């Protein structure tokens, strides 16, 4: 086994996460692995970011930090497993030992890949959909909809809102949030309510200092202030003390929330929490037994 190809006919299907999770699982067995973000044509922002993230992973130390053209794939070293993620829409796949086709939901049509994939992975599957073992005579592995896998990063929220990061905090840009929570009106009830949510971003108006403090006490990953004006100095002191990043949105609370409504639908796969979750889900499936990569 030298080359594993992971492809899809649509973006945001889960290729990047599955590629990284397989790479980590195999690397932890002691086998050298390299992750490649392959493209055909010009790279885009997403493919560049995927390649940068692949290169930052400690278990694939020789992975390229830039996308590589499909016809310029490196030759694997002896015993090395090369895992190649292909751009959405690529249907002509070079010779590979295994091809995995990834689809968001159970596909209704046979994957348009050439040659045919050995395994189909259906991601973000509803609990109403009945998991099957095969589809089109191809082994099928399903991954149900999951808050952690669909969580948004601090940078994605900042970019979507065109927000200013007024407190840097100690979380990285790729730190993810599973929940988007609006702070309640009362600060007394705020902390108990907010503590019900793990890994969250809390939205609260810039001038509600008591709610800022209640939100920070509930240990959020990020605080999003609305209204476009600078908050009290108490907020800066408290946020810096707890290491919580603070974003300042230019719009009011209603429009900020409206802007963030679709953020879970098109998140990029990055961050340790997402990777840990994907590895756990794949290790609980039959994928590695089916691939026999060890």
* Least reliable range by pLDDT among 67-71, 165-169, 178-182, 202-206: 67-71
Q: How confident is the model at residue 209 (pLDDT cuts 50, 70, 90)?
A: very high
Q: How confident is the model at residue 91 (pLDDT cuts 50, 70, 90)?
A: low
d(CA 116, CA 91): 10
The residue segments making up the domain with residue 167 are 152-266
**pLDDT confidence of residue 97:** 87
Can you read off the two tokens belonging to residue 147?
A: 């808050």
Note whether 121 and 18 are within 8 A (CB): yes
d(CA 164, CA 183): 20
Q: Which helix (H) or strand (E) holds 83?
A: strand 81-85
Looking at the fold, whether 180 and 207 belong to one and the same domain comes out as yes
Can you read off the two tokens belonging to residue 243?
A: 């290491």
Looking at the fold, whether 275 and 143 belong to one and the same domain comes out as yes
**pLDDT confidence of residue 80:** 92
Looking at the fold, whether 89 and 190 belong to one and the same domain comes out as no
CATH number where 223 lies = 3.40.1390.20
Looking at the fold, whether 157 and 144 belong to one and the same domain comes out as no
Q: How buried is residue 112: exposed, middle or buried, by Cβ count under 10 Å (0-12/13-18/19+)?
A: exposed
* Least reliable range by pLDDT among 78-92, 102-116, 188-202, 235-249: 78-92
Looking at the fold, whether 79 and 217 belong to one and the same domain comes out as no
- Selected residue with higher pLDDT from 116 and 23: 23
Looking at the fold, whether 65 and 164 belong to one and the same domain comes out as no
Which residue's structure tokens are 């408290």? 238
Q: What is the DSSP string of 125-191?
A: E-TTSPP-SEETTEEEEEEE--HHHHPEEHHHHHHHHT-EEEE--SS-TT-EESEEEEPPS-HHHHH
**What is the average per-residue pLDDT within 281-293?**
87
In 3D space, the residue among 257, 249, 162, 256 whose CA is nearest the CA of residue 206 turns out to be: 249
**Mean pLDDT estimate for the chain:** 90
Whether residue 115 has pLDDT greater than 70 = yes
**pLDDT confidence of residue 130:** 66
Looking at the fold, whether 112 and 165 belong to one and the same domain comes out as no
Q: What is the DSSP letter of 5?
A: E
Instruction: Tell me the pLDDT tens digit for each residue of 25-39.
Output: 999 999 999 999 999
**pLDDT confidence of residue 201:** 97
Can you read off the two tokens belonging to residue 290?
A: 């089916």
Kindly report whether the peptide bond that precedes residue 32 is cis, defined as omega within 30 degrees of 0: no
**pLDDT confidence of residue 244:** 97
Tally of domains within the chain: 2
Dihedral angle sign, alpha carbons of residues 209, 214, 215, 220: positive
Looking at the fold, whether 43 and 156 belong to one and the same domain comes out as no
3-class state of residue 33 by DSSP: strand
Q: Which helix (H) or strand (E) holds 25?
A: helix 15-27
**What is the average per-residue pLDDT within 57-69?**
95
Looking at the fold, whether 13 and 141 belong to one and the same domain comes out as yes
Residues sharing a CB contact under 8 Å with residue 192, sequence separation 6 or more, in sequence order? none
Looking at the fold, whether 93 and 181 belong to one and the same domain comes out as no
Whether residue 289 has pLDDT greater than 90 = no
Looking at the fold, whether 222 and 132 belong to one and the same domain comes out as no
CATH number where 41 lies = 3.40.50
Instruction: Tell me the pLDDT tens digit for each residue of 126-171.
Output: 877 766 788 888 999 999 888 899 999 999 999 999 999 999 999 9
Residue 291: Cβ within 10 Å count: 19
Q: How confident is the model at residue 224 (pLDDT cuts 50, 70, 90)?
A: very high
Looking at the fold, whether 209 and 190 belong to one and the same domain comes out as yes
Whether residue 231 has pLDDT greater than 90 = yes
**What is the average per-residue pLDDT within 68-77?**
88
């Amino acid at each position: 086994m030298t080359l594993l190809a992971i492809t899809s006919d649509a973006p945001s299907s889960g290729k990047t996460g599955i590629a990284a999770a397989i790479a980590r699982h195999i690397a932890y067995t002691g086998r050298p692995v390299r992750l490649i973000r392959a493209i055909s044509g010009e790279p885009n922002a997403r493919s560049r970011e995927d390649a940068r993230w692949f290169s930052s992973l400690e278990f694939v130390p020789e992975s390229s930090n830039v996308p590589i053209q499909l016809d310029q794939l490196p030759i694997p070293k002896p015993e090395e497993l090369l895992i190649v993620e292909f751009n959405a829409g690529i249907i002509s796949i070079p010779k590979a030992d295994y091809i995995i086709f990834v689809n968001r939901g159970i596909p209704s049509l046979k994957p348009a890949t050439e040659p045919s994939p050995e395994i189909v992975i259906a991601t973000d599957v509803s609990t109403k959909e009945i998991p099957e073992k095969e589809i089109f005579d191809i082994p099928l592995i399903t991954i149900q909809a999951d808050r952690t896998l669909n969580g948004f990063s601090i940078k994605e929220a900042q970019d979507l809102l065109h927000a200013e990061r007024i407190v840097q905090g100690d979380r990285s840009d790729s730190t993810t949030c599973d929940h988007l929570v609006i702070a309640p009106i009362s600060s007394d009830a705020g902390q108990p309510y907010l503590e019900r949510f793990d890994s969250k971003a809390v939205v609260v108006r810039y001038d509600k200092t008591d709610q800022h403090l209640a939100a920070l006490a509930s240990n959020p990953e990020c605080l999003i202030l609305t209204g476009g004006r600078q908050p009290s100095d108490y907020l800066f002191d408290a946020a810096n003390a707890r290491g919580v990043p603070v974003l300042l949105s230019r719009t009011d609370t209603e429009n900020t929330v409206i802007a963030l409504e679709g953020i879970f639908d098109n998140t990029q796969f990055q961050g340790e929490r997402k990777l840990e979750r994907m590895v756990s889900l794949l290790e609980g499936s039959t994928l590695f037994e089916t691939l026999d990569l060890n």
